[in-house]
């Protein structure tokens, strides 16, 4: 295991995920993350925002592929990984620049700010995988569908996803169907 400074950041994606493959065919993706410090001001009894730090987050292999299909600009995220500070030369003669980068070991949506649906990834043969441009087109369509506004719960009704608590209670109290398909019949009684 490499030594390094492991960090966990809470922030917001402030760019789209950029995806590529290395010459050796290894998937790699990166995006920018803004993390704003928040602290409680006791004298005023309010939460206040502090400075915002910006990071470039790098993901490799399956994490890169999943980031491409799961993360959009503006998404609240949790990022865990190795942090490094990199110095770089400018081509215009100005002073050197410095950037903070995270090589992610885990990425996820911040569930304190919204909900998400987990979809297990399926591995398939490389020749069946769509090209990067085709994946980008498909992912844009998926993001559009996933972010489309749903009607209020009162208009959807319990059947269409309205009152989640009522659905859970209904499912919990409903008799189970046994192997014979009859409600209330014990499994294997057919």
Residues 135-172: pLDDT tens digits?
Answer: 677 667 666 655 554 444 444 444 444 444 444 343 34
CATH code where residue 143 lies: 2.40.50.140
Entry pTM: 0.62
What would the pLDDT profile of 79-110 be if each residue is shown by its tens digit?
999 999 998 888 888 888 899 999 999 999 99
Domain annotation covers residue 184: no
Output the pLDDT for position 69.
93
What would the pLDDT profile of 18-74 be if each residue is shown by its tens digit?
999 999 999 999 999 999 999 999 999 999 999 999 999 999 999 999 999 999 999
Cβ neighbours, 10 Å, residue 79? 24
Residue with tokens 């502090």: 50
Q: Count up the domains in the chain and report the number.
A: 1
- Judge whether 98 and 85 are in contact, CB under 8 Å: yes
Output the pLDDT for position 169.
40
Domain span at 128? 5-147
Cα separations in angstroms, 188 against 31, 123, 173, 177: 53, 35, 21, 10
What is the pLDDT averaged over residues 176-186?
A: 40
């Amino acid at each position: 295991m490499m030594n390094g400074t492991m960090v966990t950041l809470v922030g917001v994606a402030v760019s789209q995920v950029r995806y590529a493959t290395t010459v050796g065919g290894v998937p790699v993706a990166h995006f920018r993350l803004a993390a704003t410090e928040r602290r409680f001001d006791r004298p005023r009894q309010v939460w206040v925002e502090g400075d915002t730090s910006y990071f470039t987050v790098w993901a490799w292999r399956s994490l890169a592929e999943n980031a491409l299909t799961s993360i959009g600009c503006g998404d609240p995220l949790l990022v865990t990984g190795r942090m490094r500070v990199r110095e770089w030369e400018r081509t215009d003669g100005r002073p050197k620049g410095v950037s903070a980068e995270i090589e992610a070991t885990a990425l996820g949506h911040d569930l304190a700010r919204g909900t998400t649906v987990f979809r297990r990834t399926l591995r398939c043969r490389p020749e069946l995988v769509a090209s990067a441009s085709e994946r980008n087109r498909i992912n844009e369509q998926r993001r559009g569908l996933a972010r489309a506004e749903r009607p209020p719960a009162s208009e959807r009704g319990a059947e269409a996803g309205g009152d989640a608590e009522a659905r859970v209670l209904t499912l919990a109290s409903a008799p189970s169907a046994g192997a014979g398909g009859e409600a209330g019949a014990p499994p294997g009684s057919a």
